[in-house]
Each structure stands twice: as C-alpha cells, then as structure tokens.
Amino acid sequence: MKQEKNLKPKDIPSKKTIVLRTKLMPQDIMAIMDKKKTSLFGSTLRRPKLEEITVENPQLFLEQVIFVPGYYAIDYNHDVSYVIKVEPDVKEVSIGRKKFSVLNESGVWKNFGKKMKHGVEITKQDLEINATENAAKSMADLMYLDNHGLETTFSYSTNSNAVENYAQRTLDVNKEHIRRIEISDDVFSKLLQKLKDSLKLDIKINHEEYVIVEFQEIFIPIYEARCFDKKEKVAIARIDAITGKFL
C-alpha cells in the first residue's frame, strides 16, 4: 500500500478535559471492603476470616482515558479481474487499445472439435479482463485509550450532572494521585490504523484525508486500598468510585 508518509490529522480540535464526579466516600469504600476483602486472599474453597484481614484507608486516584473519534477518507486505485462469458468461437476481445485473449488458437479448435465429435452443444467461454478500478471510501470510528496507552472500553456518562464543574481545579487538588500518559501523535496514529484495517493492501493511494472530530481527556475516580492477611501477604483492591464495583 503506497501512502503519504506519516499522515497527520487534518484538524485536531482543542482538547476538552473532563473529570467524572466521585460518588462514593472513603467510608463507603470501607463498607464495601468489609464484605469482599476475603476474596482477595486464599481460594474459593479456603478463605481467611474477615477479622484476619486488615485494610488501610483507601486512596483516591484519577485515571486518564483519552477519547478520539474521527474519520478517514481515501481515493485509490487497485487492480481487479472480471470474468465474463463470450461465444465459443471468440479468440480475442479488444477494449480500447487493449486486447484480451480467451484461449489460444489450438485450445479453441481442440474444444470445438471435441464437442462437435460427440454432438455436444458448444457452451460459452470465460473471458478474464484485468483492469484498474478507481474507488473512493470514507470510514468513521472512535477509540478510548487508558492511562497505559491501550485501547479500552468506556461505559460512563459524561452528562453535566456526572462530571465535576471545575475539572482543572479538581486535578490540581489531586495532583499527587493522577495517572496519565503524555498525549502524543501516537494517540492519533492508533485510531488511523484502526480506521485503515479494512483496506486492501494492494492499492495505490491517490489522495487521503484524516480528521479528528473530537478530542477529550477524561479522568475516572478509582479508589485503591492495601490489604494484609495474618501472614502479611499484601493485595491491592481497586474499587470504582462511581459504581462501587471491584476492578
């Protein structure tokens, strides 16, 4: 596939920062932990008693998710073959200045003679025409990347009642507990690759265009708590600060 080197997005909107609102307080997390902390140790058949597990005060972290929807438009050429039926006595077909052979002469007469000998009706032959198609295609998709730069899913609401009113202020207050990656062109390259995955490899690109429709940096509140059993084995519990689910 021939393409423009290091294709960049034509337009990148200004980044919008969103911090999802924390719905659960540390005491809520401790109540959840009291019910589920034994699941972090032992096995299904043998788990420690509740009183044998110690849980430290949970810490709140804000974990980044990057959201980028976009579209990719392409004009390209690719080689194709068409097979059409022609009469049995046809040896060659001309289209413009190009000539396409059906069978060589000996093949035509060999088939003709064999069928005449047996009184069989002569059927039409296949003619293969090699051509170049010019095509245009547009693809749209979106991608969520987690704070490790890996594609992830996202199931939260970002409506006004689900987010902090002052996102940057919230980030400043929690600056010691933020998990994020530095945003680079790699973010946009991953979406571009996802958009281009459906394209054939054997094409010649005439023109291509890549546009980012929206660009959001979303922070999800996650509680983490260190837990210890009586043997001082350590486990880290991660709880969604919005839904209360173990992660």
Residue 46, pLDDT above cutoff 50: yes
Which structural domain, as residue segments, surrounds residue 228? 16-76+136-240
Q: Is the pLDDT of residue 244 over 60?
A: yes
Strand 203-212 versus strand 59-86 pairing type: antiparallel
Q: Are residues 140 and 221 in the same domain?
A: yes
Kindly state whether residues 118 and 155 are assigned to the same domain: no
Residue 45 inside a domain? The answer is: yes
Do residues 164 and 93 share a domain?
no
Q: Above 50 in pLDDT, residue 176?
A: yes
**pLDDT tens, position by position, 101-146:** 875 444 454 555 555 555 555 677 888 888 899 999 999 999 999 9
Domains identified in the chain, total number: 2
pLDDT of residue 123: 72
Single pTM value for the model: 0.79
Q: Which positions ≥6 away from 54 have C-beta within 8 Å?
A: 227, 228, 229
**Would the pLDDT of 41 be above 70?**
yes
Burial 128-152 (b: 16+ CB within 10 A, else e): eeeeeeeeeeeeeeebbbbbebeee
Q: Looking at the structure, tell me whether residues 121 and 183 fall in a common domain.
A: no
Last residue in a domain, options 133, 149, 174:
133
